[in-house]
Chain A
Amino acid sequence: MALEDFVDLKLNHYNKDGIEVVDVEGEIDVYTAPRLRELLIDLVNKKNYQLVVNMEKVEFLDSTGLGVLVGGLKRVRAHDGSLDLVCTQERILKIFRITGLTKVFGIHETVDEAIAARKAEK
């Protein structure tokens, strides 16, 4: 993998309270989105159906990225799972608002809040 792959988008994931948290840093666009998609698919294949994607360090998100998140959401829902987002940046939230996806995704201000909200639903 080329160096710029890591410069444009950094991905990390860890488990917290039984929920897999994916930290995303950088730009999610047509070039980098496949990596996020592969990670979400891999997590679901490993039976991680409760996901939180932390986008607080995302600097750019376009419809390609939205498509990856929607695909991930649908995959986990096929297993009665969930995919919530953490995002407070208005410039990132804007594309969710334009597309109406604020009504589809649970969007929270912190990872702990997202986890707590998901636990409360159970």
Chain B
Amino acid sequence: MNEPQTIIDKLWDAHEILRRDDGESLLWVDRHYVHEGSFHAFGKLAERRAEVAEPGLTFAVADHYVPTRGPRGNIANPELARMVRQLADNCARHGIKLFGLDDPRQGIVHVVGPEQGLTLPGLLIVCGDSHTSTHGALGAYAFGIGASEVAHVLMTQTIWQKKPKRMRVSVDGVLPPGISAKDIVLAIIASIGADGATGCAVEFAGSAIRALSMEGRLTLCNMSIEAGARCGVVAPDAATFAYLKGRPYSPSGAAFDQAVEDWSKLATDEDAAFDSEVALDAARIAPIVTWGTSPQDALPIDASAPDPTRESNPERAQYLREALDYMGIAPGKKLTEIAIDRVFIGSCTNARIEDLRAAAAVLVGRASKVPGLVSPGSTLVKRQAEDEGLDRIFHLAGLEWGESGCSMCVGINGDLVRPGERCASTTNRNFRGRQGPGARTHLMSPAMVAAAAVSGHLADVREILGSRKM
């Protein structure tokens, strides 16, 4: 009998071409996603006059620089236009399939991959974007890499890695009404810290994780990087297989059945050992918002901002002072009293159909007290939302219904939160200036952003939905 293995070991072993004596392994890459930001890597290929080793395993999406407001047939900003065109040129030159601006399947790479069935259980997936961890939701080993590594993968379809430590985060129990995957992952990050999983691959397990939809699992794995993890993974199960069946690029017919048989063996064996374990009780998770400048600065909505004068550790007190100062929040202020200037619903974290439905459920029949943008995760999500009438709910609430792209999460397409403005956002990073220089970001779930929109301040969605069925 073989030694019991974790899903992390099984995924690793299936891709290890060789391991050198010094412990570094060369891994086979099943899917390589590229975007406009991959131009440095294509430049390295050009310098070496090198070709792409496996163009058929490489897929490109225009997402980071594409406009997400107004028409975008012709991009007015010449720099943005150049970035998008450069990707198309590189794809044409190397024979890479591109989901470009004019493609009905365009969207954010971490939404498009699963949606198209390109992301599958058991695959090793890389992309020059830290939120590549998202794809672990389907049982893939997926992680973000830098430009030099992107160039290496383009040229060899392999990557050098040292096997990370294995961490299991178990969330058991039943989530209370109004609590989503975003609250789970923010609770995890608040609990272990923004570097709590550094050097680790994380398996998310437990009954509360099993009960999550695929959308929820994608949100969860997406933010595993915000705890420093190399990657996050959820063992594939019946929900995963049902999600994948019939997707354009996923196997079909007998090949699908064969795949499901193999994928079913990926789950962690009983008694397999992890290097570390963390456990959370789902029943105790409240709606969470961030108050500071790191995703670990997260608290339940009914709490108050920290007070540096009550902090005994001087360095921690200094950190709190600087974060509160940047955020423009008085020490000890009740979180529900923090007024907001705008909302953003979008990003690879929370712009899938379920996210839009959750926000719409709060907004229906209500008006937003602040302006805001809703940017669907993909153009297909946009169409589906429109078929369901969600766009009308956002319109009637006074929010702008935009196009798909990374948009105001990172702001490099020009959609920015203005200096000093406070934004309730479904995104993944509340770093200083992330949504624009001087922008103040509060991270939360789509339902919580909607609750903030209709209240004009951070608010508890449970109270707003109290009179309605959740």
Asked whether A and B interact, the reply is no
